[in-house]
Amino acid sequence: MSREELATLLEAEGGPRYHGDQVFRWLYARRRFDPELFTDLPKPLRTKLAQSARVDVPKITARVTADDGTVKYGLALPGGGTVETVFMTHRDRITLCASSQVGCALMCGFCLTARMGLIRHLTAGEIVGQIARIQEDQGLRDRPFNIVFMGMGEPLHNYDGVLAAVRLLVDPAGFALAKRRITISTSGLAPAIERLASEPIRPRLAVSLNATTDELRDRIMPVNRKYPIARLLAACRRFAKATGERFTFEYVLLAGVNDTDADVLRLAKLLRANPAKLNLIPFNEVPGWLPYRAPARERVVAIRDQLLAMGLPVSIRYSRGATARAACGQLAVISDGPGPSLPPPLEVSL
Residues catalogued as catalytic: 84, 328
Residue 48's contacts (CB-CB under 8 Å, 6 or more residues apart) are 13, 14
Of 49 and 98, nearer to ligand SAH (C-beta) is: 98
Q: How many CB atoms lie within 10 A of CB 38?
A: 22
Of 38 and 283, nearer to ligand SAH (C-beta) is: 283
Q: Could you tell me the smallest distance in angstroms from the CB atom of residue 5 to ligand SAH?
A: 28
User: What is the C-alpha to C-alpha distance for residues 284 and 274, in angstroms, rounded to an integer?
Assistant: 27
Of 122 and 290, nearer to ligand SAH (C-beta) is: 290
Closest CB to ligand SAH: residue number? 329
The single-letter DSSP state of residue 339 is S
Of 187 and 224, nearer to ligand SAH (C-beta) is: 187
| Cα angle value 194/329/298 (rounded, 5°) | 105
What is the torsion angle, in degrees rounded to the nearest 10, for the CA atoms of residue 29, residue 177, residue 233 and residue 257?
A: -90
Q: What helix, strand, coil percent values describe the chain, rounded to 5?
A: 35, 20, 45
184 neighbors 149 (Cβ within 8 angstroms): yes
78 neighbors 65 (Cβ within 8 angstroms): no
Q: How many CB atoms lie within 10 A of CB 6?
A: 21
Q: Could you tell me the smallest distance in angstroms from the CB atom of residue 192 to ligand SAH?
A: 12
Of 55 and 342, nearer to ligand SAH (C-beta) is: 342
- Beta strands, E only, 38-140: 59-65, 71-76, 82-90, 93-97, 101-103, 118-121
Residues that bind ligand SAH (CB under 6 A): 110-111, 150, 154, 185-187, 208, 210, 250, 252, 281, 283-284, 290, 328-329
